[in-house]
Amino acid sequence: MIWKVNPNQWGVTAATVGSLCMNVTTFNNETYATDATAPEFAVTWIYNQGPETAPVHAFPNCKVASQVFPASFNNIDKLMLDLEWTYGLGNNTAVSTSKADLEKNLVNTNVAIDIFADPDQNVATDTEKAKMEIMVWFAAYGPATQPLGMATTGIVETQVVEGISFDLYTGENAAGQKVFTWYSATPIHNYTGDLMPLMDILLAKNDPDYPSTKDYIGYMSLGSEALSANSTVTFHVPTLAIDVELKQS
């Protein structure tokens, strides 16, 4: 598997006060646990609060950059994820995550898988032009960190996958893309399992506004949307593996 790490400070403007630093730990001899294992990485950041209409300053992430994508939903058997992460105050990585400490320092952020899809396999790889975005949120901190649709349409449905309850929210972002967010209200710091059941639920809707089996996934990454924080925080991902298992022809 080929990976690309990106600090992705796409929401930083002239009015932004803050900074972000991304550190990646690689093994020169490439002795990773599996072919699907990503390098360990950590992101230290602090930002002032942005406007309500555009609160996100960055999405530092680790992206699947191998030739497995674009791949049609119809051709994907499993989206296996192995994930461990922590969020802590300061410049150093934390052993565990304290929700109370993050809330006390007004940290607004999430931890999420980000997927872009489109009927056109070439457009699907473009995060700005793809028809739809599908996210899986493993945690959200702060009142500004809400899935699109939470404040308007509310929960569309709830599903339990790998023993975890995920709520589905839908909305449209500023780029006009349809956004589907599976959100666990209880932070999930460790996850090992298949994400494809969450995709299958969307595909089964048979709704033109939802993804179809003929659509293509062109982008998939794991990262954290950095909105704002009153103190420096560090997001640490010691374990990440994404294995895209295609159906046998």
What percent of the chain has pLDDT above 90? 93
What pLDDT digit, counting tens, does each position of 135-170 carry?
Answer: 999 999 999 999 999 999 999 999 999 999 999 999
pLDDT at 26: 80
User: What is the percent of the chain where pLDDT is above 70?
Assistant: 97
**Is residue 233 predicted with pLDDT exceeding 70?**
yes
Q: Check pLDDT > 90 for residue 31.
A: no
pLDDT of residue 29 exceeding 60, the answer is no
Mean pLDDT of the chain: 96
pLDDT, tens digit, for every residue of 110-139?
Answer: 999 999 999 999 999 999 999 999 999 999
Q: H or E element: which one contains 99?
A: helix 99-104
pLDDT value, residue 28: 58
CATH annotation of 3-246:
2.60.120.180
CB of 26 closer than 8 Å to CB of 4: no
Domain boundaries, the chain: 3-246
* Residue 81: φ, ψ to 5°: -125, 135
Q: Is 183's pLDDT higher than 90?
A: yes
pLDDT band at 14 (very low <50, low <70, confident <90, very high): very high
Burial class (CB in 10 A: 0-12, 13-18, 19+), 131: middle
Q: Above 60 in pLDDT, residue 207?
A: yes
Q: How many helices (H) and strands (E) does the chain have?
A: 2, 15
Supply the pLDDT for residue 248: 84
Cis link prior to 60 (omega < 30° from 0)?
no
**Mean pLDDT value across residues 185-194:** 98
DSSP 31: -
pLDDT tier, 35 (very low <50, low <70, confident <90, very high otherwise): confident
